[in-house]
């Protein structure tokens, strides 16, 4: 059984069979690559991607994306002029935090550099069907709207982006969903997702729904997402060619550690572990001062003498993974912290300043998104058009 208990942002990081992949509370990414049978995202492939993008990206340079499937083939198609499209999504189960939004920022960069279509699925059906969440359909629909605003705030190109919510869009997807469903046996999803005979049948059908957008265009689909979503792509890759489509390609991102340290998870029931996209400046400050796990020494004297450990310091890791794109600057900070000249409090202040600025800008774009949402959801006829051109004729 492949666990789907891990999440970007670690929302479900401690569940299922993820434990064997954790080394002293950290995710063992090499082991994940082995277990999932994906490819390591190596230097030469990163360089090729950056060359074609015409720009380097710090998340690539720093290994935030660490694994892939068929990215080489996607780039080959792009070089030959055939192009590709991007697909990602969000399970609308509550407010989004920093960990949730990072892959969207990277997806936006890919869209900008390659000028490609992006399809974003909001799985209000899935989050309703997951029993342990105890969410009503009204709630998951409400969160779809709220999350869509955060996603639009990332800055996707309205002419190339289609955001759709399953319960609304299902009529357009249903034909494809049953074509997929007919090819996937219960024994497969049971093995891949760990379903059993008391799993509700909505959940058993749902993988077909998440697979459908990989078939929105008849060229290669590249999915930037956390590795916990990979089991879906595995099933997709078994059946896609039989339906006349490409196997989905994927790039997998690492998890941003919870504020409270590498152990445990960012969790909605423990708000101190995460920073939410709607946290006000006061809360940001409080959470980081109070909870951000420190790699520093217990006293200033000791810290000056022995220095801190940036590898386990969450403030440093957050700067490294997202908030400080400048390589020279991040190395300066790393050195200063290691040497003891930079204190934990000072490091936290640096992070607070970055997070506050980021969220202030994000929140103002989120306000503007309220006017834009129809452009993405209803007039963004992209998927409908593509769909008619491709699949409807089958
Ligand atoms: N199942 C995902 C979740 O629970 C949501 C999702 C749907 C998704 N389609 C996707 C995530 C494609 C990444 C890529 O969050």
pLDDT tens, residue by residue, 158-169: 889 999 999 999
User: Do 222 and 242 lie in a common domain?
Assistant: yes
Q: Does a structural domain hold residue 365?
A: yes
Q: Does a structural domain hold residue 255?
A: yes
> What is the three-class DSSP state of 219?
coil
- CATH code for the domain of 137: 3.40.50.620
User: Do 151 and 248 lie in a common domain?
Assistant: yes
> At which residue do the structure tokens 């900008």 appear?
112
Q: Ligand 1 center to residue 336 CA distance, Å?
A: 39
Q: Angle, to 10 degrees, between the axis of helix 230-239 and the axis of helix 201-211?
A: 70
Task: Name the closest-CA residue to atom 9, ligand 1.
Answer: 89
CA distances to 87, 153, 155, 259, 276 from 104, in Å: 10, 10, 9, 20, 15
Amino acid 14: pLDDT: 33
**Sequence-ordered list of residues with C-beta below 8 angstroms from that of 138, at least 6 positions apart, any chain:** none
Q: Where are the alpha helices (DSSP H) in the chain?
A: 29-36, 43-53, 58-61, 71-79, 98-114, 124-129, 137-153, 166-183, 186-193, 201-211, 230-239, 281-291, 300-306, 314-318, 327-339, 344-377, 382-390
Q: Does a structural domain hold residue 29?
A: yes
pLDDT tens, residue by residue, 67-77: 999 999 999 99
Amino acid 275: pLDDT: 96
Task: Name the closest-CA residue to atom 6, ligand 1.
Answer: 89
> What is the three-class DSSP state of 229?
helix
Question: How many distinct structural domains can be found in the chain?
Answer: 2
Rg (CA), the chain: 21
User: Do 130 and 184 lie in a common domain?
Assistant: yes
From 193, 227, 259, the end of a domain falls on 259
**Dihedral through CA 99, CA 104, CA 109, CA 115, nearest 10?**
170
User: Do 245 and 281 lie in a common domain?
Assistant: no
pLDDT tens, residue by residue, 255-310: 889 999 877 667 777 888 999 999 999 999 999 999 999 999 999 999 999 999 99
**Residue 94, domain extent:** 17-259
Task: Name the closest-CA residue to atom 11, ligand 1.
Answer: 89
> At which residue do the structure tokens 């690492």 appear?
254
Q: Which two tokens stand for residue 31?
A: 């082991």
Identify the weakest region by mean pLDDT among 25-29, 129-133, 249-253.
Answer: 25-29
Amino acid 9: pLDDT: 31
* Secondary structure element (H or E) that encloses residue 2, with its range: none
Q: Ligand 1 center to residue 229 CA distance, Å?
A: 7
User: Do 248 and 290 lie in a common domain?
Assistant: no
What's the whole-number mean pLDDT along residues 31-39?
A: 91
**Dihedral through CA 282, CA 284, CA 285, CA 291, nearest 10?**
130
Q: Ligand 1 center to residue 210 CA distance, Å?
A: 7
What's the whole-number mean pLDDT along residues 306-323?
A: 96
Q: Ligand 1 center to residue 236 CA distance, Å?
A: 14
Ligand 1, atom nearest to 213 Cα? 9
User: Do the strands 118-122 and 84-90 form a parallel or antiparallel pair, or are they unpaired?
Assistant: parallel
Of the candidates 373, 375, 377, the one whose C-alpha atom is nearest the C-alpha of residue 153 is 373
What's the whole-number mean pLDDT along residues 107-125?
A: 97
Q: Does a structural domain hold residue 22?
A: yes
Q: Ligand 1 center to residue 345 CA distance, Å?
A: 37
Average pLDDT, the chain: 89
User: Do 173 and 277 lie in a common domain?
Assistant: no
Q: Ligand 1 center to residue 128 CA distance, Å?
A: 14
Q: Ligand 1 center to residue 225 CA distance, Å?
A: 8
Amino acid 385: pLDDT: 55
Task: Name the closest-CA residue to atom 1, ligand 1.
Answer: 91
Task: Please choose from 9, 110, 121 the residue to mutate so as to test ligand 1's pocket, defined by most ligand atoms within 8 A of CB.
Answer: 121
User: Do 194 and 299 lie in a common domain?
Assistant: no
User: Do 203 and 345 lie in a common domain?
Assistant: no
Q: Ligand 1 center to residue 285 CA distance, Å?
A: 31
Amino acid 8: pLDDT: 30
**What's the pLDDT band for 390 if we cut at 50, 70, 90?**
low
Q: Does a structural domain hold residue 95?
A: yes
**Sequence-ordered list of residues with C-beta below 8 angstroms from that of 197, at least 6 positions apart, any chain:** none
- CATH code for the domain of 283: 1.10.240.10
Task: Please choose from 210, 216, 383 the residue to mutate so as to test ligand 1's pocket, defined by most ligand atoms within 8 A of CB.
Answer: 210
Ligand 1, atom nearest to 7 Cα? 15
> Quick one: CA dihedral 197, 191, 13, 49, positive or negative?
negative
**What's the pLDDT band for 105 if we cut at 50, 70, 90?**
very high
User: Do 169 and 287 lie in a common domain?
Assistant: no
pLDDT at 194 over 70: yes
pLDDT tens, residue by residue, 330-355: 999 999 999 999 999 999 999 999 99
> What is the three-class DSSP state of 387?
helix
Amino acid 389: pLDDT: 53
Residues with CB under 6 A from ligand 1: 87-91, 121, 123, 126, 210, 223, 225, 229
pLDDT at 368 over 90: yes
What's the whole-number mean pLDDT along residues 179-190?
A: 97
User: Do 246 and 275 lie in a common domain?
Assistant: no
Q: Does a structural domain hold residue 391?
A: no
Q: Does a structural domain hold residue 264?
A: no
User: Do 292 and 234 lie in a common domain?
Assistant: no
Cα separation of 257 and 252, whole Å? 16
Task: Name the closest-CA residue to atom 4, ligand 1.
Answer: 91
CA distances to 276, 345, 347 from 270, in Å: 12, 23, 24
Cα separation of 391 and 394, whole Å? 5
User: Do 59 and 194 lie in a common domain?
Assistant: yes
Q: Ligand 1 center to residue 250 CA distance, Å?
A: 12
Task: Name the closest-CA residue to atom 7, ligand 1.
Answer: 89
Q: Does a structural domain hold residue 2?
A: no
Ligand 1, atom nearest to 225 Cα? 13
């Amino acid at each position: 059984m492949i666990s789907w208990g891990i999440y970007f942002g670690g929302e479900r990081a401690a569940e299922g069979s993820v434990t064997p992949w954790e080394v002293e509370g950290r995710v063992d990414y090499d082991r994940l690559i082995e277990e999932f049978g994906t490819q390591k995202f190596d230097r030469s492939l990163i360089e090729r991607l950056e060359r074609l993008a015409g720009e380097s990206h710090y998340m690539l340079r720093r290994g935030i994306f660490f694994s892939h499937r068929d990215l080489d083939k996607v780039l080959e198609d792009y070089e030959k002029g055939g192009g590709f499209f991007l697909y990602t999504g969000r399970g609308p189960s509550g407010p989004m935090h920093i960990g949730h939004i990072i892959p969207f920022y990277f997806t936006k960069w890919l869209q900008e550099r390659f000028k490609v279509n992006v399809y974003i699925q909001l799985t209000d059906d899935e989050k309703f069907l997951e029993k342990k969440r105890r969410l009503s359909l009204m709630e998951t629909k409400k969160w779809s709207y709220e999350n869509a605003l955060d996603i639009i705030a990332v800055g996707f190109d309205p002419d190339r982006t289609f955001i759709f919510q399953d319960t609304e869009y299902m009529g357009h997807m249903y034909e494809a969903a049953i074509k997929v469903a007919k090819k996937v046996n219960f024994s497969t999803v049971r093995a891949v997702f760990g379903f059993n005979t008391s799993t509700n049948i909505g959940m058993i059908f749902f993988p077909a729904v998440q697979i459908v957008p990989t078939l929105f265009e008849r060229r290669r689909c590249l999915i930037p997402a956390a590795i916990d979503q990979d089991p879906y792509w595995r099933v997709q890759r078994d059946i896609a060619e039989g339906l006349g489509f490409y196997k989905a390609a994927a790039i997998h991102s690492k998890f941003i550690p919870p504020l409270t340290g590498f152990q445990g998870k960012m969790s909605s029931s423990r708000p101190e572990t995460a920073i939410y996209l709607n946290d006000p400046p006061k809360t940001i400050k409080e959470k980081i001062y109070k909870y951000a796990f420190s790699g520093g020494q217990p006293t200033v004297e000791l810290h000056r003498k022995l220095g801190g450990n940036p590898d386990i310091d969450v403030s440093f890791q957050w700067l490294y993974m997202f908030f400080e794109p400048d390589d020279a600057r991040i190395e300066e900070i790393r050195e200063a912290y290691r040497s003891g000249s930079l204190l934990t409090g000072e490091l936290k202040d640096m992070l607070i300043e970055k997070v506050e600025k980021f969220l202030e800008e994000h929140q103002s774009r989120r306000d503007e998104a309220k006017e834009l949402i129809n452009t993405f959801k209803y007039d963004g006829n992209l998927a409908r058009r593509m769909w008619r051109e491709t699949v409807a004729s089958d």
